[in-house]
Amino acid sequence: MSRDPDRKPLHLNAFLMTVGHHEAAWRLPQSPTDGTDVEHYKNLARIAERGRLDSLFLADGPVLHGDPGRRPSSILEPTVLLTALAGVTSRIGLIATASTSYNEPYNLARRFASVDHVSGGRAGWNIVTTAGADAARNFGLDDTPLHRDRYLRAAEFLDVATKLWDSWADDAVVNDKEGGVYARAERVRRIDHRGPHFRVDGPLNVRRSPQGHPLLVQAGSSEDGKDFAARYAEAVFTAQQTLEEGVAFYKDVKRRAETFGRDPDGIKILPGIVPVIGATETEALALDAELERHIVPEYGRRQLARLVGVPEERLVLDEELPDDLPTEDEIEGAKSRFTLVVELGRRERLTVRQLIGRLGGGRGHRTFAGTAEQVADTIEHWYDSGAADGFNIMPALLPSGLEVFVDQVVPILQERGLFRTEYTGTTLREHYGLPRPANRLFDTADSAAGTG
């Protein structure tokens, strides 16, 4: 296919996860032995930047996930790890997940502002509310707060954070050595926030950052999650199993954004995909099968039982899911994940063992096993069908899966005019084609005169 100059480019993020998204990745001989080794991540960052990807992305939760035996579960804190990766890259964006349920807005707003400064405007925040009683029990609670309450807190958290990021006008620092005025006091303002969850005086002790504030990303796909995304998010990470569901989700979120008075193009929809790439389709399917063969099903059954809200012994490895599962309304954990997994199992009539195999590959994200050309075709097809503004690439194996994607799939997408061949901007928002946000506490004229 030839390049079409009018075609809007798509966006690609590298979703990094220890030695790969497939839970059995670490068992393959080519995998590194330690997911906590910063050199491994630096290598991944360099590969992704070589591919001109929009960003690196790290999922996170303040809890040890799953059985220590199952897969590498020692996970470096994302703002720290991405700061380390900022030092070995110069353009690629850096999106860290952090929880609004288990942080204080002053601390987190400051940390993201700091990452944005240190990286020259490349920070993004994937805003999560963190489901699960095990996380709650690391913070003095007995159980996870109610889903709705988590989202109410998240909305207020974001309101506070945004005001803190805006508490310095872009032109506050004058550095008047002669007059003895470092910053103009009237251009640095307290926020005096008073709300049901937070009381925060401010101002922040970090000046406004290169992007104004980090790119705001959201990753939940429940009703509350979609509304939250439509209202605040600039990018949405989502798991969509079928093209039809992907198209419906895309339309739904864009429409919701419009009802909040937003430009639907100001919110990028980025489904996750797990590419398993081979020189031939047979080779790719063999790699996929090899990975699935290395799954230890007992670990997965324990996790699946928690997810669908039944005791472990109710799940029989060679039978389908029980008929009498709870409904999404009864789940206080990850609602949209619950529905996705249950629907996948029922639609394809999978046994528990098969379902575990499918989830082990990328926890509910779409797996494509094929040649680089086939993976590029699928990406293009989803993109052209209106299911995605881009993709969150989740290699089954790291670094090898990312290397193959960058060296083989990206050139095809570039050739088709679907993806950039060089970075044109320096900030993450510039990669996404999004504007630097105006300062809500100081007027626009002054903000425009700032460092943006």
Which residues from 166-205 bind a second copy, rule CB under 8 A? 168, 172-173, 175, 177, 180-185, 187-188, 198-205
**Chain centroid, CA 71 distance in Å:** 20
String of contacts with a second copy for each residue 126-165, x by CB under 8 A: --------x--xxxx-------------------------
Q: String of b and e for 348-370 (b: at least 16 CB within 10 Å)?
A: eebbbbbbbbbbbbbbbbbbbbb
**x-marked contacts with a second copy along 108-127 as a string, rule CB under 8 A:** --xx-xxx-xx---------
Q: Which 349-388 residues touch a second copy, going by CB under 8 A?
A: none
Counting contacts by CB under 8 A, is residue 76 touching a second copy?
Answer: yes
Asked whether position 317 contacts a second copy by CB under 8 A, the answer is no
Length of the chain (residues)? 452
Asked if 302 touches a second copy (CB under 8 A), the answer is no
Among 63, 230, 304, 331, the residue binding a second copy under the rule CB under 8 A is 63
Residue from 70, 91, 254, 268 in contact with a second copy (CB under 8 A): 70
Question: Within a 10 A sphere around the Cβ of 407, how many other Cβ atoms?
Answer: 14
Q: Which is nearer to a second copy, 42 or 314 (CB)?
A: 42
User: Judged by CB under 8 A, which of 12, 14, 53, 86 binds a second copy?
Assistant: 86
CB of 79 to a second copy, least distance (A): 6
- What residues numbered 22-41 form the site for a second copy, per CB under 8 A? 26-29, 33-34, 36, 38
- Smallest gap, in angstroms, from Cβ of residue 220 to a second copy? 20
Q: Is 293 in the site for a second copy (CB under 8 A)?
A: no
The CB-of-84 to a second copy minimum distance in angstroms stands at: 5
Residue 301 in the binding site for a second copy (CB under 8 A): no
Least Å distance between CB 111 and a second copy?
5
10 Å CB burial of residue 378 (0-12, 13-18, 19+) is middle
Of 63 and 342, CB closest to a second copy:
63
For residue 294, state whether it binds a second copy (rule: CB under 8 A).
Answer: yes
Tokens of 166: 């805006």
**Comparison of 32 and 264: residue with beta carbon closer to a second copy:** 32
Which one of 1, 3, 90, 107 is in contact with a second copy (CB under 8 A)? 107
Two tokens, residue 70: 């199952």
Q: Which of 87, 326, 425, 435 binds a second copy (CB under 8 A)?
A: 87
